[in-house]
Every structure is written in C-alpha cells, then in structure tokens.
Amino acid sequence: MKPLVAVLVIAVAAMAVADDVPFTDKDLESEESIWKLYERWGHVHGLTSRDLAEKGSRFEAFKVNAKHVNEFNKKEGMTYELGLNKFADMTLEEFLAKYAGAKVDAVILQASVRELEEEVIGDVPTTWDWRQHGAVTAVKDQGQCGSCWAFSAVGAVESANAIATGNLLKLSEQQVLDCSGDGDCNGGWPDMVLKGYAIEQGIALDSSGNPPYYPPYVAAKMSCRTVAGKPVVKMDGTTRVASGETALKQSVSLQPVSVLIEADTNFQLYKSGVYSGPCGTKVNHAVLAVGYGVTSNNINYWIVKNSWNTTWGESGYIRMKRDVGGNKGLCGIAMYGIYPTKIKQNPFSSVAASVADAAFY
Ligand SMILES: *[C@@H]1O[C@H](CO)[C@@H](O)[C@H](O)[C@H]1NC(C)=O
C-alpha cells in the first residue's frame, strides 16, 4: 500500500510543476547551482536536446531572467507572479523577434474607422467571459514564428462566427499566413486581415486532416494552397473600437476583440495573477480580449487569450489590469481594438456545418 501512495504523490507533483520550475535563493547562490537549475528547467520544458554550445550561449539570459523572477516574486503588494516558463532562456529582443510580431500602420488605422460613440453605450455586464459562452476555441501555439497577427485575427473571426451561427469552428492561421499577404513570420497586420481577407476570401477550417481542411499549422510561411470550393467562414465588415477602456469594455461585451499590446520582459515571464506592467504603449504583439472581470480584492482585469501554448501564463491566458486611467489602457490594450462583424450566412454553410459536427463536437 505504502509504495503505491508514494508513486501517486510523485506523479501529481510532476504534473503540477510541468509548466513552471520552482526555485529558491539557494538555487541562485553560485554559477554551479544556477547551471543545475538551468538543466532542471531544460528538462521540464523538453529542451534537453540542445547542445552544450547553445546551452552555454543561452545561460547568460537564463541567469538574468532567473534572478529577475526571484527578485520580482519577493516584492510586496504585487498582483501577479513571474515564473521560469519555456521562454526563460531568451533575452527580450530574441523573444520578441521570435514570438511577437504585430505591426501597426497609422495610415491604415485611420482609414475607414467607424468609431463607437460613448452615447450608444448601454448597460454592459459588470463581468463577462466569452469562454463560458462557447465562443472561444482552445489556446493555440504560434511556435517560433512572429505570426501573432494571424492568431489574433483568426481568433476574432472564430468568435464572431460562433456567436453569429452557434458553431464554434477552429479556423486556419496557416491559410492566413500563406495567403492573405498581410504578414509573415516577421510580423503582420491583424486589422488588414479583418478588413480584407476575412471578408473577401474567408477563412478555411483548420485541422490536421485532409481537405476540405487547410493543411495544418507549421510555424512557417508556405505557398498558398487555397482551392476553390473549400468551405470557409466569411465576415461582412469590421468595427474599429474607439480608444479607451470604456469603449473596449462595451465591445468585448458584444464579442471578442483583436487588440495590440506592448509585450515586455515581465509579459514574457508572466505566470499568473493580474498583470500590471511595467510596460509602455509601443505595441508589438497581437492578442484577443475575450472578457473582463474583477478579483475578490476589487482589481479589474481584461481576460486575454494569447497564442503561446497553454504552458504560458494561466493556461495560455493572461489577466491584464483594467481601468488604469488615460485612454490607452495597460500596455496600449485600449488603443487599437478591432473586431469583425458577421451578418450573412457562410458560403457552403451546410458543408461547413456538417464538417464541424463531425470534427468538433
Ligand atoms: C504545446 O506544446 C507542447 C510541447 O511542445 C505540444 O506538444 C502541444 O501540441 C502544444 N499545444 C498546442 C495547443 O499547440
């Protein structure tokens, strides 16, 4: 009896630390102890295949990050925690180059803006979470490709379609990356996808199966493989959210919104809680705001879906502080919100619906 219990306890403990590597001051005492911590971290994140040269070159970044996490988590009065997640051996520059990638074009942002008026704001629920209303697909992983713009845009389309049709379909970022012309693995424009491609061409289903699915995501831009006749989800228009958190709250209560933020070191190493920066408003990362809430300590937050796998943050999500004053929002979250609108039926809607029934329910 005893040995069995012991085995079970070990298994549960291993699961609990799978996404994070707990450590203490002792682990940071010397180069040797930090190297040991680094090896333990690599093991947890499945990075044992890295050769010694690569490990050596990344050790500096890991050391800096581990010390930063340790110091930060000791601070009093913080509303969030950092952790040694899978990005912990990258400098911020390297990290942003590989995992962010939103671009902003002021001219494009100004064009065809239909701003929401404060006057039309009616009663908005105090808290809202679209995940509880079947309107958000599972967290995805953009891999080492600056394609956040595609994930943010496709996420917004998936949600708009789910709310309009009652069908939560998983749609293809790979298609948008290959075919839209709105970006590549070095970054792109989510608003252009929503204003152009999602309306004119529509977005195909994503799965690792055969057509009518678009081929699976590979974290690299490939040649466009769209074929006529494939079932797609089409949008009919876009609404640009007026800047400011009041307008964003109004919009998020209607449907998930594609937003741009500035991702910094603490965002990279975020583990849990209500993120409060520090961060500027030079936006570099596109994500999806899927709701908003209030903690038991009365801290207001946005619920933000990221595309860095479920191993980052709170199962792939981050809660970001809301109502921070000014009209930009924390990290610029309230500056560039946009969402697609849907009125008409999808082309091939019966095909899409039956495919969906088979594959997603
Ligand atoms: C998250 O990462 C793990 C490990 O690399 C991988 O097996 C899994 O498929 C990823 N999840 C998603 C949603 O891509």
The Cα–Cα gap between 249 and 255 comes to: 10
Q: Which one is catalytic: 85, 300, 306, 346?
A: 306
The Cα–Cα gap between 293 and 301 comes to: 5
CB distance 234 to ligand 1 below 6 Å: no
Buried b (16+ CB within 10 A) or exposed e, 314-323: bebbbbbbbb
Cα pseudo-dihedral 134, 323, 283, 267, rounded to 10: -70
Q: What is the pLDDT of residues 14-40, one digit of tens each?
A: 344 346 788 999 999 999 999 999 999
CB distance 219 to ligand 1 below 6 Å: no
* Domains present along the chain, CATH in parentheses: 25-80 (no CATH), 98-341 (3.90.70.10)
Q: What is the pLDDT of residues 63-91, one digit of tens each?
A: 999 999 999 999 999 999 999 999 999 99
Is 45 one of the catalytic residues? no
Is 224 one of the catalytic residues? no
Give pLDDT tens digits along the chain (361 positions).
344 444 444 443 334 434 678 899 999 999 999 999 999 999 998 877 778 888 888 999 999 999 999 999 999 999 999 999 999 999 998 998 888 776 765 444 444 444 444 445 568 999 999 999 999 999 999 999 999 999 999 999 999 999 999 989 999 999 999 999 999 999 999 999 999 999 999 999 987 555 678 889 999 999 998 766 677 899 999 999 999 999 999 999 999 999 999 999 999 999 999 999 999 999 999 999 999 999 999 999 999 999 999 999 999 999 999 999 999 999 999 999 999 999 877 776 544 444 433 332 2
Q: What is the DSSP string of 100-120?
A: --B---HHHHHTT--PPPGGG
Question: What is the CA(141)–ligand 1 centre distance, in A?
Answer: 7
Is 279 one of the catalytic residues? no
The Cα–Cα gap between 140 and 342 comes to: 23
Q: What is the pLDDT of residues 33-43, one digit of tens each?
A: 999 999 999 99
CB distance 141 to ligand 1 below 6 Å: yes
Question: Closest ligand 1 atom, CA of 140?
Answer: 13
CB distance 70 to ligand 1 below 6 Å: no
3-class secondary-structure state, position 238:
strand
Where are the extended beta strands (E) located within 189-337? 203-204, 232-233, 237-240, 257-261, 270-275, 285-294, 300-305, 317-321
CB distance 342 to ligand 1 below 6 Å: no
